Amino acid sequence: MGTYQEEYKSKLVSAERAASFVRPGMIVEYGQFATKPVDFDRALGARAGEDGLAGIEVRATGGVPPVPEVILKDPGQKTFQYGSWYFTAMDRALSDKGLCVHNPFSYHEANYVGFWDSFKHRQPDFWCAQVAPMDVAGYFNFGVANSHNYSFAHASKIRVVEVNPNIPRCLGGFQECIHISDVDFIIEGSQTPIFTLPDSKEPTPAERQIAELIVEEISDGACLQLGIGSMPNTIGMMLAESELKDLGIQSEMFCDSFVAMYEAGKITNKMKAVDRFKSTYTFALGSKNTYDFMNDNPVLASCPVDYVNDPSRIRLNDNFISINNILEIDLLSQICSESKGLRQISGTGGQLDFVIGAYESKNGKSFLAFESTYKDKEGNLQSRIRPLLTTGATVTVPRTLVHWVVTEYGKVNLKARSIWDRAEQLISIAHPAFRDELIREAEKMKIWRPAHKISEAAAKV
């Protein structure tokens, strides 16, 4: 590291000094997920209300605690407007108060904004993210969020790194770091602990049933993508206890259940066609144990999201299995996974990327899973299979791309089916209490025929 020590010292500034370079009208990009800056955000938030400072757009991806100071210090949004490319529970709560706006995108396209000239009007002016300490070659590793940090950093006029020794060094791929020569300022942060997810809840009986239905569709040598949430995590833990072998990983998120699968000897990546012997991912959210496992681990490959989530690359691996949660589906088989009506819950993320890539993989399967019902605020049971999506709901996966749909009452393959067949198949896996009502609605919609019969086995569930 000695070669770069003088340059390091020359670029070392306080968080307050770095924040002073933010000018009115700038787009400021925070690092993604757990690499969001903490000390720089405090310093920037302290400038709220400063004379002449206005129109600053602060963007993040998958916000995690602490709540950004640019919001706390400027609740009237006179200086800053805060937005997120992908909503988390924190972003959702802030949005409910009018303090966070959603920036829709399909995740694999994120780097296009940073690299392509046609997006110059939306490229950041200022980039700051938490990084691991500089290595001997002068590089700062992006840690648990490769994602689109590299492209957004290089698109920015000013680039700042906030060094945190708690960030693991995540190697094995490419664009996982930035060189000191490409950095304008260095902040030595207050070494706040990296954000970890709370312990997973015990899966419900319905989640266990859904997991079992999906796991029986997975074969030796399959390549896996697991989405965010308790359902995919339950499936991963079940796979760790299964008899399956030689599984591979290409997943936008590296999660706790992958560590359990590694420790059980289930993951070898030997059957992958690309990135053989490595688990490819673009970000991670999990426990400290997962972050420790990732640190300097040569079997993992941290790559940018336009590589990991590219459907044309996903399909190169045979027997690809994609598993994601959804919020609701209508009888036309349109899927919403990101909003409850007009209320933003999460985002498209990479769900559509993997739905497309998995289906196009030889013998691949895309599973969209959900518990068939939920309880509303009044405690009333509601069906997630609806005649039509809730008014204002976002179509995350269009009906033409839906493959397997799974509830605790069964699984159906909707590919190549007519709209009549799709309605019948979906009603067959709905909660029994709602099937008659759904049939009546399907008749009104003219997508049901008297000849249609829900199988006796399904009707008795």
CB 216 within 8 A of CB 169: no
How far apart are the C-alpha atoms of 247 and 261, rounded to whole Å?
Answer: 9
Q: How far apart are CA 216 and CA 214, in angstroms?
A: 5
Q: Which amino acid is at 285?
A: L
- Residue 3 burial class via C-beta count within 10 angstroms: exposed 0-12, middle 13-18, buried 19 and up: exposed
DSSP states of 260-278 as a string? HHHHTT-B--TT-SSSTTS
Of 29, 162, 207, 252, the active-site residue reads 252
Place of tokens 């207050």: 190
Q: Which residues contact 418 (CB under 8 A, 6 or more apart)?
A: none
Residue 203's identity, in one-letter code, is P
Residue 269, CA distances (Å) to 4, 223, 278 in order: 37, 8, 6
Token code pair at residue 81:
């407007």
- Catalytic status, residue 162: no
Beta-sheet strands, E only, within 147-237? 158-163, 177-179, 185-188, 223-226
**Helices 230-240, 256-263: crossing angle, 10 deg rounding:** 0
Residue type, 461: V
Q: Strands 320-325 and 126-131, how do they pair?
A: unpaired
**CB atoms closer than 10 angstroms to residue 128:** 30
Q: Are strands 343-344 and 339-340 parallel, antiparallel or unpaired?
A: antiparallel
β-bridge pairing 328-330 and 339-340 = unpaired
CB proximity list for 432: less than 8 A, separation 6 or greater:
409, 459, 461
Residue 68 CA to residue 37 CA, distance in Å, equals: 9
Q: Which residues contact 458 (CB under 8 A, 6 or more apart)?
A: 409, 410, 428, 429
AA letter at 410: G
Short-list 232, 245, 249, CA closest to 369: 232
Q: How many CB atoms lie within 10 A of CB 353?
A: 25
Do the Cβ atoms of 270 and 317 come closer than 8 Å? no
Closest CA to 234 of 267, 251, 210, 270: 210
Active site residues: 252
